[in-house]
Amino acid sequence: MTEALIVTALLLVAGSATAAVAVRDPVRQSLVLAVLGVVLAVLFTVLQAPDVALSQLAVGSALTPLLLLLTVRKVRRRGQRAAGGGGGSDGRRGGGSGP
């Protein structure tokens, strides 16, 4: 019984990790990463590591995706303007080495 649980959890981890890499859109990726965090927490519980499972749940499925989403939001907010005004590569780049 435990063995079946462990194998299932392991396969889920492998699957969701692969999905997290394969999904190229950062917003979707952060959702998949949240799922990966939950699945990892389940795996750790089955592996009798409740301490790690708790922190993985807090960090991996809440904090990290939240940070990723906030970053996406910041970057997108810039991107909208850049797409509209062509300000993508504005004059504040560092150096004279651009081609």
**Contacting residues toward another protein, per CB under 8 A:** 2-3, 6-7, 10-11, 13-14, 17-18, 20-22, 24-27, 29-30, 33, 36, 40, 43-44, 47-56, 58-60, 62-64, 66-78, 80-82, 87-90, 92-99
Cα(73)–Cα(27) distance, rounded to whole angstroms? Answer: 9
Cα(48)–Cα(38) distance, rounded to whole angstroms? Answer: 15
Q: Hey, is 32 helix, strand or coil?
A: helix
Rama region for 90: left / alpha / beta (φ>0; ψ in -120 to 50; rest): beta
- The pair of three-digit structure tokens given for residue 92, joined into one six-digit string: 């504040």
Residues with Cβ < 8 Å from 92, sequence gap 6 or more?
A: none
